[in-house]
Amino acid sequence: MKPEVVVVGSGMSGLAAGVALAEAGVGVLVLAKGAGSLQLAPGTIDLLGYAGERVTDPLSAIAKLADRDPRHPYALLGAEAVADAARWLSSRVAEGPLAPYRYVGSPEQNMLLPTALGVLRPSALVPETMAAADLRHADRIVVVGFRGMKDFYPSLIAENLMRATGGAVSVRATQIDPPSGLDGEPGTFRLARSLDRPGEAAALAARLAAVVQDDEVLALPAVLSIGDPHGVWETLQRVIGRPVCEIPTLPPSVPGLRLFDTLRALLRRAGGRLVTGSHVVGTKGSGDRVEAVRVHVSGGERSYPTRWVVLATGGVASGGLTLDPDWRMWETALGLDVAGVPAPEELRFSSRYLDPHPLSRAGIAADRDLRPLDADGARRWENVLVVGAALAGAEPWREKSGEGIALASGHRAAQLILNAERRVQETVPEGVAEPIA
Amino acid sequence: MSVAGHDHDDVLGDLMRGSLDHCVKCTICEQYCPVSAATPLFPGPKYAGPQSERFRTDEESVDRSVDYCSGCGICTQVCPQGVHIAEINSRARAKLKHDTGIPLRDRIITRSEILGKLGTPVAPLANASLRNRPLRVLGERALGIHRDAPVPAFAGRTFRSWAKHHVAAVPTSDRVVFFYGCGTDYYEPRLGEMAVEILEHNGFAVDTPKQGCCGLPLQSSGLFEDARRYVRRLAHNLAPAVRGGATIVAVSTSCSLMLKREAIEILGLEDDAELRLVSGRVRDICEFLVDLHDEGRLRTDFRPVDARVAYHAPCQQQGHGIGKPALDLFALIERLHVDEMDARCCGIAGTYGLKREKYEIAMAVGEPLFKQIRAVSPGLVVCDSETCRWQIEKASGVPSVHPVEILHRAYGLSNVPDGSAINGNS
């Protein structure tokens, strides 16, 4: 029962590492404070959406970014690791508990999908239920909302999409009543649960068929079932006779939950354990090795001995990093040094919201083996790997790179550990240990 | 002293309440709340908690929806920001109850110790009454205890009386204290005996000092003052053994969570030195046995057990933050096939599902679990909490046992021939 690897955090990066390790036969314990961040994300895997300009081929843009900016997490990982991780995730979802629900797309091509605000989202891998709204190909779309549903306004989406595509795509908006029995406010999850009930998808399909026109793609809020999205989506398409797609809602996100449920189930299937409600507060270690992770649980503290630690606690938003009013920033679980915090006399934030903010690139500096570096650029621990949004050097919300960095670094961390444990023979030489930051 | 944590000297209460400032409205709690998924009467933990709390004052509130919170605690467990949602709502519920009056029913069904003391000597009569339809209908009308709600049968003897005469042949200086709880004492004494035998099998001398109710049912129904009195008394009874270095091992995951954390955080007893002392030394029995295993001290002379069981980790067990140690132990038993249920809550939430106005909600909350159980049709449902077991048995028709019962059998301690099917009541 003693884990060989303790993963701290159950978002995209932590679960990618945990599943990949568990499936390779390693004893994995994932410790998480709460339920993870996946259900707050739209469920798409955005590898790289913007690098100055909007990106059409993420993989080659990542390679260029890595050359240009050696401190960026993608420079530590390399484009090939991103492609590997994307292929790996697609295969895992396709064999997950929601199969035949799957992800479609390619790391070499961004789709352009509508958001709930009618903005174009460049995304590489998306649930099959979203792909039909790809605005590179669609001609005519009807956005259908449910009356009373908050934060999903079809006319807003339609107008913004028309503007964003310069009128190249014709978008129409309409609303229907929510399925019967949803008194009061039809929230995202109530709608999704209602469609999991027998007969509900067919009943909704019949009502939608009356709304859609012959040549239109039908776009709905992403509420097409939690337990059987493929089945519900297919039922709608069959009855309506037109392509149907989901537009991700504002949080909470049903497709995000599906991805979380999928990875969690794969972890468990492979013998990995997930313990929520455990708040990692430090380590026990000597020299350059962590020997145990200290955890605050109900009634006090306990520690989990381990050979490896994967730190996947995220950035400031999820509490992995924190900043105090005196502009000191630190990493909350293991107490690692944070790099890239602007000095008092330097610019921290730009005056315009969407401009680059120097402070937002702060995080844990790591080498190509994802080992954390201290303030002097030396490896802090030999058996700790840092993944996901805790890594320094990226601005995921401007780049549209958050899931990509999380997925690729989590998956890469698993490969590095497996390689060190010699459970698989990698064909590529082991990563160079020289400090980058 | 106010009941709901709005008093100014309540430092931890302020901390709990202050945690609402960390709420980023991500709605993960709403997504996981089993009650708001089952009924529109409860608007969800975020609405009832961090949002409504800002408007709660010492005045009586017009919003009574927080009464429909079952107190399962899942919201706090899943919150990625560390907001103590369930604790905020428990305090708000207590204040509401204080303002609107606590029904007689809630004053009765929350006194598990008194009920046990009254029912045990007259067990056959009491049990017959509890299974008598006209009396249950009367009980529903007069008291508001739903006629179909699962109620346990009095064993007619207590665990305490067994423990008093139990002589262990364990020559050891390793001592643990067994905290059995009211459920074991009055309804399932055999469970306590099995727990003791398992601990002795692993070389521990087991002490069972005078204990008493932990006050959790009272706390759940908003009777905070009474709950404080009970839990302080329990901590006082357990403290000497802890001072002597003993670990406290418990079979009821809800009573042990009360000691570990809830009494301190919800009842605001952070200043009770004895409770603080005890809380750090309480271990759930499965947690304790897994720790022993990690230290290489657990006996693993398990016999194969031919059985297919479903395992449901109760909400309060999940509140410990220890994962699912029962599954780790079951993995040591050959031929035992375990289906892990992933539905979140059985609905009962202690006494919630007994109440007339909440029975239907509790059954709806538990339905996803009952459906999963029916789908795998196991011989047994294994579950660490007593009220959950009673609810599961009643709703799914499948007998339900504590993990200890499986371990006891695997150790060959149960007096059953090898190869015979496990049943729910040994």
Binary contact (B319, A39; C-beta < 8 A):
no
Say which CATH number the domain at B90 has: 1.10.1060.10
Contacts of B389 (CB under 8 A, 6+ apart): B381, B383, B400, B401, B402
Say which CATH number the domain at B356 has: 3.40.50
CA-wise closest residue to A387 among A377, A404, A378: A404
* The predicted structure's pLDDT at residue A435: 42
Which residues 318-357 of B have a C-beta within 8 angstroms of A?
Answer: 318-324, 328, 331, 340, 342
A437, part of any domain: no
A425, part of any domain: no
Contact B317, B75 (CB under 8 A): no
Binary contact (A35, B32; C-beta < 8 A):
yes
Q: Are residues A304 and A347 in the same domain?
A: yes
Q: B323 contacts in A (CB within 8 Å)?
A: 29, 273-275, 278
* The predicted structure's pLDDT at residue B59: 79
Say which CATH number the domain at A179 has: 3.40.50
* The predicted structure's pLDDT at residue B173: 77
Which residues 29-58 of A have a C-beta within 8 angstroms of B?
Answer: 29, 33-37, 39-40
Count of CB pairs separated by less than 8 Å, A with B: 96
Burial of residue B145 (CB within 10 Å: 0-12, 13-18, 19+) is buried
Q: Are residues A225 and A356 in the same domain?
A: no
Q: A275 contacts in B (CB within 8 Å)?
A: 321-323
A252, part of any domain: no
* Strand A329-331, strand A321-323: pairing: antiparallel
Q: Does B84 touch chain A (CB under 8 A)?
A: no
Q: Which residues pair with A276 in a beta bridge?
A: A32
Tell the residue number behind the tokens 């050097």, with chain if given: A393
For chain B, give the mean pLDDT: 89
Q: B293 contacts in A (CB within 8 Å)?
A: 1
What's the number of domains chain B is made of?
A: 2
Q: Does B260 touch chain A (CB under 8 A)?
A: yes
Q: Quick one: tokens of B352?
A: 């919630």
The amino acid that residue A98 corresponds to is L
Q: Are residues A17 and A44 in the same domain?
A: yes
Binary contact (B282, A318; C-beta < 8 A):
no
The residue of chain A with its CA nearest to that of B316 is A298
Q: Does A322 touch chain B (CB under 8 A)?
A: no
B193, part of any domain: no
Residue B80 is nearest to which of A34, A273, A302, comparing CB atoms? A34
* Pairwise CA distance, residues B124 & B127, whole Å: 5
B405, part of any domain: yes
Average pLDDT over residues B52-80: 88
Question: Quick check: B1 pLDDT over 50?
Answer: no
What's the number of domains chain A is made of?
A: 2
A41, part of any domain: yes
Of A196, A222, A247, the position where a domain reaches its end is A247
Of B100, B127, B147, the position where a domain reaches its end is B100
Binary contact (A318, B80; C-beta < 8 A):
yes
* The predicted structure's pLDDT at residue A350: 92
* The predicted structure's pLDDT at residue B6: 44
Q: B318 contacts in A (CB within 8 Å)?
A: 276-277
Q: What is the pLDDT of residues B335-381, one digit of tens each?
A: 999 999 988 899 999 889 999 999 999 999 999 999 999 999 889 99
* H or E element, residue A417: helix A402-420
Q: A295 contacts in B (CB within 8 Å)?
A: 321
* The predicted structure's pLDDT at residue B10: 63
* The predicted structure's pLDDT at residue B11: 65
Binary contact (A252, B26; C-beta < 8 A):
yes
Q: A42 contacts in B (CB within 8 Å)?
A: none
Q: What is the pLDDT of residues B186-239, one digit of tens each?
A: 999 999 999 999 999 999 999 999 999 999 999 988 899 999 999 999 999 999
Burial of residue A249 (CB within 10 Å: 0-12, 13-18, 19+) is buried
Binary contact (A319, B81; C-beta < 8 A):
yes
* The predicted structure's pLDDT at residue B24: 87
Burial of residue B57 (CB within 10 Å: 0-12, 13-18, 19+) is exposed
Q: A268 contacts in B (CB within 8 Å)?
A: 340
CA-wise closest residue to B150 among B330, B402, B418, B351: B351
Binary contact (B340, A273; C-beta < 8 A):
no
Tell the residue number behind the tokens 């299937």, with chain if given: A269
The residue of chain A with its CA nearest to that of B254 is A298
Binary contact (B78, A34; C-beta < 8 A):
yes
Q: Are residues A132 and A269 in the same domain?
A: no
Distance from CA of A279 to the nearest CA of B (A): 9
* The predicted structure's pLDDT at residue B426: 37
Q: Are residues A20 and A168 in the same domain?
A: no
B155, part of any domain: no
Contacts of A286 (CB under 8 A, 6+ apart): none
Q: Quick one: tokens of B273?
A: 């030195």
Q: Are residues A240 and A323 in the same domain?
A: no
B248, part of any domain: no
* Pairwise CA distance, residues B136 & A204, whole Å: 43
Q: Does B253 touch chain A (CB under 8 A)?
A: no
Distance from CA of B131 to the nearest CA of A (A): 35
* Pairwise CA distance, residues B34 & A215, whole Å: 41
Q: Does A230 touch chain B (CB under 8 A)?
A: no
Q: Tens digit of pLDDT per residue, chain A (437 long)?
A: 678 999 999 999 999 999 999 999 999 999 999 888 898 899 999 999 999 899 999 999 999 999 999 999 999 999 999 999 999 999 999 999 999 999 999 999 999 999 999 999 999 999 999 999 999 998 999 999 999 998 999 999 999 999 999 989 999 999 999 987 776 778 898 899 899 988 999 999 999 999 999 899 999 999 999 999 999 999 999 999 999 999 999 988 999 999 999 999 999 999 999 998 888 999 999 999 999 999 988 888 889 999 999 999 999 988 899 988 888 899 999 999 999 999 888 998 999 988 899 999 999 999 999 999 999 999 999 999 999 999 999 999 999 999 999 999 999 999 999 999 975 544 444 444 444 43
Question: Quick check: B314 pLDDT over 70?
Answer: yes
Contact A122, A45 (CB under 8 A): no
Q: Does A269 touch chain B (CB under 8 A)?
A: no
Q: Which residues pair with A104 in a beta bridge?
A: A126
Question: Quick check: B424 pLDDT over 70?
Answer: no
Binary contact (B293, A39; C-beta < 8 A):
no
Burial letters A339-355, b for 16+ CB under 10 A, else e: bbbbeeeeeeeeeeeee
The residue of chain B with its CA nearest to that of A261 is B342
* The predicted structure's pLDDT at residue A427: 46
A147, part of any domain: yes
Domain hosting residue A121, numbered range: 116-247
Q: What is the pLDDT of residues B199-210, one digit of tens each?
A: 999 999 999 999
Question: Quick check: B395 pLDDT over 50?
Answer: yes
Q: Are residues A356 and A387 in the same domain?
A: yes
B78, part of any domain: yes
Of A247, A282, A300, the position where a domain reaches its end is A247
Q: Are residues A62 and A143 in the same domain?
A: no
Of B62, B79, B100, the position where a domain reaches its end is B100
The residue of chain A with its CA nearest to that of B280 is A299
B135, part of any domain: no
Kindly indicate the confidence band of residue B12, based on its pLDDT and cuts at 50, 70 and 90: low
CA angle B347, B348, B351 (to 5 degrees): 150
A109, part of any domain: no
* The predicted structure's pLDDT at residue B9: 55
* Pairwise CA distance, residues B28 & A385, whole Å: 28
What 3-state class would DSSP assign to B308? strand
Domain hosting residue B32, numbered range: 11-100
Please count the residues of chain B: 426
Burial letters B176-210, b for 16+ CB under 10 A, else e: bbbbbbbbbbbbbbbbbbbbbbbbbbbebebebee
Binary contact (B321, A295; C-beta < 8 A):
yes
CA-wise closest residue to A15 among A40, A33, A32: A32
Residue A428: other Cβ atoms inside 10 A: 10
A88, part of any domain: yes
Residue A298 is nearest to which of B24, B80, B319, comparing CB atoms? B319
Burial of residue B32 (CB within 10 Å: 0-12, 13-18, 19+) is buried
Contact A319, A313 (CB under 8 A): yes
* The predicted structure's pLDDT at residue B64: 86
Contact A24, A424 (CB under 8 A): yes
A263, part of any domain: yes
Binary contact (A251, B27; C-beta < 8 A):
yes
Q: Are residues A141 and A32 in the same domain?
A: no
Q: What is the pLDDT of residues B285-296, one digit of tens each?
A: 999 999 999 899
Binary contact (A34, B37; C-beta < 8 A):
no
Q: A interface mutation test: which of B24, B27, B253, B284 has the most A CBs within 10 A?
A: B27
B46, part of any domain: yes
Q: Are residues A223 and A357 in the same domain?
A: no
* Strand B336-340, strand B307-312: pairing: parallel
Average pLDDT over residues B41-51: 91
B45, part of any domain: yes
* The predicted structure's pLDDT at residue B252: 96
Tell the residue number behind the tokens 């249950």, with chain if given: B136
Q: Is A217 left (phi over 0), alpha (psi -120 to 50) or beta?
A: beta
Please count the residues of chain A: 437
The residue of chain B with its CA nearest to that of A265 is B342
Q: Does B240 touch chain A (CB under 8 A)?
A: no
Q: Are residues A139 and A218 in the same domain?
A: yes
* Pairwise CA distance, residues B58 & A40, whole Å: 35
CA-wise closest residue to B278 among B289, B266, B295, B262: B262
* Strand A217-221, strand A140-146: pairing: parallel
